[in-house]
Amino acid sequence: MKLSFWRKTKEPSTPIGTDPDADIEVLISECRKNLPRCDEAMIRKAFQFCVQAHKNDLRESGEPYYTHPLEVARIIVNEIPLDDVSVCAALLHDVVEDTTYSLEDIRAEFGSTVAEIVDGATKISGIFRSTEIRQAENYRKLLLALVKDVRVILIKFADRLHNMRTLGALPPERQQRLARETLDIYAPFAHRFGLANIKWELEDLAFKYLNHTEYDAIKRALAESRTERESYIARFAEPIIERLKKEGFQFEITGRPKHIYSIYQKMQRLGVPMSELYDLLAVRIILDTNENKHCYTVYGIVADIYEPIADRFKDYIARPKKNSYQSLHAAFIGPDGKRIEVQIRTRAMHEIAERGIAAHFRYKENQGNGRVPSWWHDKELEEWANWVRDIFENAGDEAPEQLLESFKLNLYQDEIYVYTPRNDLIILPQGATPIDFAYAIHSEIGNHCIGAKVNGKLVPLDYQLKTGDQVEILTSKNQHPTKDWERICITHKAKSNIRKYLNDEKRRFVEQGKQLWEKRLRKAQAAPTQEQFDRMLNKLGIPNPNEFFYKLGLGIVNADVAIQLVGADTDRAESSPSVPDGTAHQVSLERLRSDSGVVLDSAHPPIPNLLYQYARCCNPVPGDDIIGIITIGSGIKVHRRDCRNIAEMGDTLHARIVNLSWAPHQRGEYLATLRVTGEDRPGMLHDITNAITGYRNTNIRSVNIDVFGSDFEGIITLYVRDLEHLNEIFSRIGRIRGVRSVARFNG
């Protein structure tokens, strides 16, 4: 039992690079001290191989190149202590990439395990370089390497850490690029693996090169206030130490300052100077016990001495983070009314918190020797990779940029803990919605999600879930994802499933469009050339054939009009040279618009290439009485004539109003919003959604229902074909027991 003050991990003080014979002895000495097993002969052999392979290479600093893999191996030994195989692989990790030796040479000398780790490290060498991402396949290589042997990624962390420690030897532009890449990708990835000390040092080193002025100012202030802070911690800890001794606990109390980048982030977030931050120093109580319940007992003891701050208590023991981090976090009012943070954990939890997956790996290696904690199971090591697998499992042909965006998003998000109706725990990123929850359970539940109940109350699909919420997903076989869902959800699993469904749906419409086009061509006995087909696409403003067939299958483009455009081009070229250029084009476009969308009343002069959008405030559908408002940059906004916004703006719109009517033939779907009120009862939402989706496979976009005592009011947005379709929905909902009113919602 002792009080100590945490000091930031520093580079080993022993000098390296002047004498290879002395260098290997330093490494062997550190291996004997830190590794559970140590095949010294194999490590010496790997070191000699490394020195020989890199004998003609120098680092940017002018040092022999072998010093870099040697320092990476020392980080593996001292800061992520794994095993002797990891040390050998670290010494050899650059050999295949940078020298004439092959992977087969390494396999022949050191066996398959070392060779596979080196191969994995080589394959993913540039994967995290956000400026160099070229193809999504690189991410799959990362996943395969990660799942096959987690030591691959741990060596890459050590590799990057040493590169950052020696970044000063590089030119400024490379310093900036590597520092940004480290802050964006490596540091949060290290956090996901539970490598707290590595993460902190990577962040601070990156921050040093990205914002040297702020870095130096905070570092200087921390150094100046160290004595005062350590004195305060001693005062705070003294009564706690006495009570814990009295209760018979074996423990260690440490005072840990926040790292520099974390302080800077908090200053920026709160908009305050460093002097106004109250939690620059946290107290950590580490118990030498295997009983998790003792952590709660110690929390009670501290709470008996100092006043706890209720909303600052976090229990990561009952609900561990995805990287298996466990600890109690709390805040108390200490001496002189100052706030101070306290973390309470067992020694095993501390090992996991500081060294993450490395500690798990060592526990796994040492199974059977009595050192494995009771809460550890084989399957937990696989959990380390699950969040990465979620990112890749449905990637398909997704663009690398999208994959990188999702990858980084998932790295940075904190977690929330939510529950199914059966109280199964689901861990999601902060900001997740019911759609994310639905896809986390199963892709089919996500695809048919129509609404959600959180803690027994109906919520909209864009509701942000919070830790402790119990979530029930409501589904309908007729519901399907829409493009808006991708904007609402945040997890890659949800986004990729939505994209997959929409892409599959698009492929179906493309195929239908191709079949329809071929059928119409045969009927018209037309055989347009590629040049004629391309000119027709250009007239319609469609960029490529796939998009044309998609719009044809969807009903946005009329096949007969498209054939007439091809025919008009042929007729003009062969038999109507006297028609002014563009006339047939304009006539055909007007005919096209008469088959889809809206048209100007005959009293108005024609407007070439008429652009229009449907107003979201009133969501007009075919059959509504409509007018248009001329806007700048957005063409004509189509409103219902009884739209409240139009009435409120009155005479100010007079000069910009144009009269519109619906085209004779409508093939698309249009958004409509309903307001439903009535008496709340079990099954009401189910009855309403079934009434909607059961008619012509109507698709619901969103449901937002509020309950007031025994009554409810709901706003439902859905897709309809026309006013007749909408009126039938009104009728079906109106017949439901307990529904008082259903009407158009004019937002």
The whole-angstrom separation of Cα 449 and Cα 428 is: 17
Element (H, E) at 333: strand 328-333
The whole-angstrom separation of Cα 307 and Cα 336 is: 12
Letter string b/e over residues 641-658, b meaning 16 or more CB atoms within 10 A of that residue's CB: eebebbeeeeeebeeeeb
Residues 149, 263 share a domain: no
653 lies in some domain: yes
Residues 359, 266 share a domain: yes
Whether the pLDDT of residue 622 is over 70: the answer is yes
Residues 732, 649 share a domain: no
Residues 6+ apart with CB under 8 A from 104: none
Q: What CATH number should be reported for the domain holding residue 685?
A: 3.30.70.260
Residues 156, 289 share a domain: no
425 lies in some domain: no
Mean pLDDT computed over 86-93: 93
Domain end marker among 365, 393, 418: 365
499 lies in some domain: no
pLDDT in tens, 165-198: 999 989 999 999 899 888 887 887 787 777 778 8
505 flagged as catalytic: no
Residues 644, 712 share a domain: no
Whether the pLDDT of residue 78 is over 50: the answer is yes
Mean pLDDT computed over 688-706: 85
Residues 705, 629 share a domain: no
98 flagged as catalytic: yes
Residues 732, 699 share a domain: yes
Residue pair 627/646 in contact (Cβ under 8 Å)? The answer is yes
699 lies in some domain: yes
77 lies in some domain: yes
Using CA atoms in the order 199, 32, 35, 89, what is the torsion angle rounded to 10 degrees? 80
Query: Could you tell me whether strands 314-315 and 328-333 are parallel, antiparallel, or unpaired per DSSP bridges?
Result: antiparallel
Residues 6+ apart with CB under 8 A from 501: 447, 480, 481
Residues 156, 42 share a domain: yes
Q: What CATH number should be reported for the domain holding residue 33?
A: 1.10.3210.10
Residue 364 CA to chain centroid, in angstroms? 30
Mean pLDDT computed over 379-384: 46
Query: In this predicted structure, which of 356-370, 462-476, 581-595 has the lowest mean pLDDT?
Result: 581-595
* Amino acid 651: pLDDT: 64
Whether the pLDDT of residue 511 is over 80: the answer is yes
- Tell me the three state secondary structure of residue 286: strand
Could you list the residue range(s) of the whole structural domain that residue 347 is in? 214-365
Residues 726, 653 share a domain: no
391 lies in some domain: no
> pTM score, two decimals?
0.55
Domain end marker among 365, 385, 413: 365
Mean pLDDT computed over 219-229: 78
The whole-angstrom separation of Cα 317 and Cα 301 is: 18
Residues 692, 637 share a domain: no
Whether the pLDDT of residue 33 is over 60: the answer is yes
569 lies in some domain: no
Handedness of CA 102, 106, 112, 113 (dihedral sign): negative
Domain end marker among 639, 662, 685: 662
**Which residue among 97, 242, 444, 711 is the active-site one?**
97
Whether the pLDDT of residue 351 is over 60: the answer is yes
14 lies in some domain: no
**Average confidence score pLDDT of the chain:** 79
The whole-angstrom separation of Cα 535 and Cα 565 is: 9
162 burial (CB, 10 Å; 0-12 / 13-18 / 19+) is buried
Mean pLDDT computed over 254-274: 82
Residues 359, 229 share a domain: yes
Residues 231, 187 share a domain: no
Letter string b/e over residues 92-115, b meaning 16 or more CB atoms within 10 A of that residue's CB: bbbbbebbebeeebbbebbeeebb
Residues 6+ apart with CB under 8 A from 18: none
Q: What CATH number should be reported for the domain holding residue 340?
A: 3.30.460.10
* Amino acid 703: pLDDT: 83
pLDDT confidence tier of residue 12, bands split at 50, 70 and 90: very low
**Which residue among 11, 98, 279, 728 is the active-site one?**
98
Please tell me the total count of domains within the chain: 4
